[in-house]
Amino acid sequence: MTSTGLAGVGTALITPFQQGGAVDEAALRALVDWQLAEGVHFLVPCGSTGEAATLTPEEHRRVVEVVVEQVDGRVPVVAGAGSNDTRKAIATSRDMAAVGATHLLHTSPMYSKPPQRGIEAHFRAIAEAVDLPIVVYNVPGRTASNVEAKTTLALAEVPSIVAVKEASGNLAQITDILMARPEGFAVLSGDDELTLNVMVGGGEGVVSVVSNAAPRPLVELVEAAARGDFATARERHAALLPLMRAAFSESNPIPIKAAMSMLGRCENVLRLPLVPLADAHVAGLRSALERAGAFA
């Protein structure tokens, strides 16, 4: 592991809801226990997969609090705290620190589309205001704002900015970061399908959507890659690839919520404007879960 303690598989946790829409704390606690029993290395509540955009501040705080309680110090808890309002991002970060998160996950500011110097200033302001290690989350498909390699590398020089979750899909950009990053700065794939590629290039692991439903196979993929056993890693990747693709047949977390319902882990309940998976994708998702060994 890197000095940040962030390496391997970090599951971008779904937020289970009951029929009617309330957070299902019992299902969330059971999910945390299962993830850790399957070998996941850290947990990431209240990100995009956790439907953080539709949680109230009180719900957001409570979800992270429940995860922290259930983890009980066994693995890091990287709490989503992003906002395009820097003041709100700082306030949410302080809430996450207060309930025991070990790290913070911050997207580049969505919607506002700041220039690179604005993105850098945003992250520096958070780092100065909050005493927790920060993971930069670059997901231009959602934020409409790419964090360029040179910006990530500038932020990597800030002592409390310890990792990047790279979901740009741009392997050239990710390689530039891998080649020039300072010692101890972790590079984590933000795309399940690119995990193997990123690790071949020297990355530390993945913040994963599919590990909600198939944690053990993804752990086996990442641990094999980390020890240089790329034959095993490729086998696991091949078995997981249909699920990696099915999990994005519609906007995340629509498919993974359906998958978790198929596995009996939660109700298939999302908050508007997200809606349940279209019928046309259900059979393909079930087949992908079977191929991944998720029903075993």
Contact between 224 and 277 under an 8 Å Cβ cutoff? The reply is no
Residue 293: pLDDT over 90: yes
- How far apart are alpha carbons 243 and 238 in whole angstroms? 10
| Catalytic-role residue among 88, 113, 165, 257 | 165
- 218-241: average pLDDT: 98
| Catalytic-role residue among 111, 113, 137, 150 | 137
- 114-142: average pLDDT: 96
Q: Could you tell me what percent of the chain has a pLDDT over 90?
A: 95
- How far apart are alpha carbons 29 and 52 in whole angstroms? 17
Complete domains list, the chain, with CATH: 8-226 (3.20.20.70)
Contact between 40 and 75 under an 8 Å Cβ cutoff? The reply is yes
Sheet of 205-208: strands edge to edge? 42-44, 8-12, 205-208, 186-189, 161-166, 134-138, 103-107, 78-80
Residue 1: pLDDT over 90: no
pLDDT of residue 178: 98
pLDDT tens digits for range 9-38: 999 999 999 999 999 999 999 999 999 999
pLDDT of residue 7: 97
pLDDT of residue 245: 98
pLDDT of residue 150: 98
- pTM metric for this prediction: 0.96
Q: Is 137 a catalytic residue?
A: yes
Q: Is 257 a catalytic residue?
A: no
